[in-house]
Structure 1
Amino acid sequence: MAVAGTVAEAFVQEWHDWHRRHEAVRADRHGFLAVTGLHWLTAEPRRVPGAPGEWSTGAEGVVVTFGAGEELVVAGSPRRERYVFGVIPERGGINAGWGDAVIEVAKRGGHDIVRPRHPDHPLRVEYAGTPVFAPDPRWVIEGRYVPFDQPRPTTVGAAVEGLEHVYHAPGRIEFELDGQALSLTAFDGYAPGSLTVLFTDATSGVTTYTDNRVLQLDAPGPDGRVVLDFNRAVNLPCAYTDFATCPLPPAENRLPVAIEAGEKIPYERG
């Protein structure tokens, strides 16, 4: 019993350490909680609240033209008068400095956007953490990764109405929960071979955020074994701010069971 208790305590402590690191990234001075606006660029130059210059997009890509005394710092160098960011790839982005703020220039769903990030934004300054379910080993589930013959282009919706994202799904994950066979389409993760799973479940809109949660998975083993630790299911930025373009899960990832693990609805949306 003492050994079992020690293992359980270690599991809980490891989870708390992980979640503390995750929260620190979320609350970073230039993280998503610092975003003050989402601005869609067009061919017509216009000013963007919270950023210097007039912004537009066209054949050259994203362009900003500065007025007297205005500048941005890009790649460590001050840029004045007119600066061409160029054509930005889908899901790519460039962060430029402006005083203590960062001006994010990015492309999402085929559209060029500007998102100013100001450390003194009230959403970040007043952030008090995210409520969670208590970590429980019950929600650490072994699954099997089944690769597709070829990665499948998968179109999903977004937190912004009318916007779509296209991801390549390399395979699906099959697992069981309380005797029920389930599966999740997986997208590529951040590290080579790793996987990302977007999902909703029976708790969505009740105790967890309505639109989505995300789970990052290590690369499957040689036999396809993969571990889904739903205790580490977290919210995407759209759970906190309307200035995010987060993807929605594919239809097949709407689980018919209640995953009572991971992060809950943020206080900001409560």
Structure 2
Amino acid sequence: MTTQTSPQPQDATVDRELFGTQWSEWHDRHEQNRASEHGFLAVTGLHWLSGIPARFDDAPGLWSTSDDGPVVVLAEDETLVIDGVPVSGEHRFGPIEERGGRLASFGDAVVEVARRGGNDIVRPRHPEHPLRTQYRGTPAYLPDPRWVAAGRFVPFDEPRAVTVGAAVEGLQHVYDSPGVIEFELRGERFSLVAFNGYTPGALFVLFTDATSGVTTYAANRTLSIDAPDDDGLVTLDFNRAVNLPCAYTDFATCPLPPAENRLPIGIEAGEKTPSERG
């Protein structure tokens, strides 16, 4: 999830043409990543590993797991390439940390070996998967500076473990939340529980709003936020709210927003429900 600083909505000198161009360039990059050769649109299955070895139609090998981590046993005519090294026979991946994963390639495909919600999983990714080859892009609201909000990050005394649901029934995710983001939009004040982003100091929020299930995906959207400045100030550009993989495929284990992040207003900005979900 990437972000890029946007003009504050209070700035009367916002160049709307430039604002739209910057958004279009950003969204084009986001779409390219989404539809990349081994991106999430290429996933062909979500396989839950257990102590009983199992073979899957879309990946080589016989797969199982234990406290020592996932194991694959390859037949004589099967090979995987892991970290650039061809492997055959039995390969032990070792314990995988929560939300971590490894990639192994075979032919033009890869298999993701990961851990989600305390479970080890296998997700093969094939470039020729129809969801990817037939993808024509995600509809979105036209970018508008009025959906850029100034906010303040309010840290907790200590990070708090927040348990949230998942796109897969019965699965839960636990995230460490460093604090909340307070902001004002359309004359009203709101607060969102924030989670740590993918770069030092960065944040992201999961949320729903009054458009969810109407024009935007019902379960969730996410917004990346740059690291707060020295005064805790942040910018929330809802034009850059995007869908998670579960908006496109049932082979995703995406987290759902915490109850506190269900906004009562309609955020008519960012990505809409993809055509893949009707």
Q: Which amino acid aligns with 1:54?
A: L
Q: Give the number of equivalent residue pairs.
A: 267
Alignment of structure 1 residues 37-116 onto 2, 5 Å: 37-116=45-124
Identity of aligned residues (%): 66
Three-state SS of the structure 2 residue aligned to 1:116 is strand
The reply on whether 1:130 has 2:163 as its aligned counterpart is no
Give 2:239's match in structure 1, choosing from 231, 234, 241: 231
The reply on whether 1:144 has 2:162 as its aligned counterpart is no
The reply on whether 1:208 has 2:209 as its aligned counterpart is no
Distance 2:57 2:159 in 1: 40
CA shift, 1:176, in A, is 1.3
Q: Which amino acid aligns with 1:180?
A: E
CA shift, 1:254, in A, is 0.3
Q: TM-score, normalised by structure 1?
A: 0.97
Corresponding residue for residue 119 of structure 1:
127
Corresponding residue for residue 167 of structure 1:
175
Q: Which amino acid aligns with 1:214?
A: T
Name the CA shift for 1:146/1:6 in 2 (closer, same or farther; >3 Å). Answer: closer
Cα deviations by residue, 1:11-39 (Å, 9 ceiling, x for unpaired) = 10000000000000000010000000000
Corresponding residue for residue 205 of structure 2:
197
Q: TM-score, normalised by structure 2?
A: 0.95
Contact 1:37 1:49 in 2 (8 A): no
Cα deviations by residue, 1:43-74 (Å, 9 ceiling, x for unpaired) = 00010121001000013210000112101000
Name the CA shift for 1:6/1:198 in 2 (closer, same or farther; >3 Å). Answer: closer
Q: Which amino acid aligns with 2:104?
A: A
CA shift, 1:179, in A, is 1.8
Cα deviations by residue, 1:51-110 (Å, 9 ceiling, x for unpaired) = 001000013210000112101000001110100011111000000001000000000000
Q: Which amino acid aligns with 2:161?
A: P
CA shift, 1:181, in A, is 1.3
Give 1:251's match in structure 2, choosing from 252, 259, 265: 259
Cα deviations by residue, 1:164-221 (Å, 9 ceiling, x for unpaired) = 0000000000111222111000000011000010000000000000000000000011
Q: Which amino acid aligns with 2:85?
A: S
Give 1:263's match in structure 2, choosing from 258, 263, 271: 271
Corresponding residue for residue 154 of structure 1:
162
Distance 2:212 2:243 in 1: 11
Three-state SS of the structure 1 residue aligned to 2:230 is coil
Distance 1:29 1:57 in 2: 28
Three-state SS of the structure 2 residue aligned to 1:245 is coil
Corresponding residue for residue 183 of structure 1:
191
CA shift, 1:8, in A, is 1.2
Distance 1:170 1:185 in 2: 9
Q: Which amino acid aligns with 2:239?
A: N
Distance 2:100 2:223 in 1: 21
Could you list the runs of 5+ residues in structure 2 that have no partner in the other structure?
1-11
The reply on whether 1:7 has 2:11 as its aligned counterpart is no
Distance 2:76 2:17 in 1: 60
Q: Which amino acid aligns with 1:240?
A: Y
CA shift, 1:6, in A, is 8.1
The runs of at least 4 consecutive aligned structure 1 residues that moved more than 2 Å come to: none
Larger RCO: 1 or 2 (CA < 8 Å, sep 6+) = 2
Q: Which amino acid aligns with 1:222?
A: D
Distance 2:68 2:74 in 1: 17
RMSD: 1.0
Contact 1:139 1:231 in 2 (8 A): yes
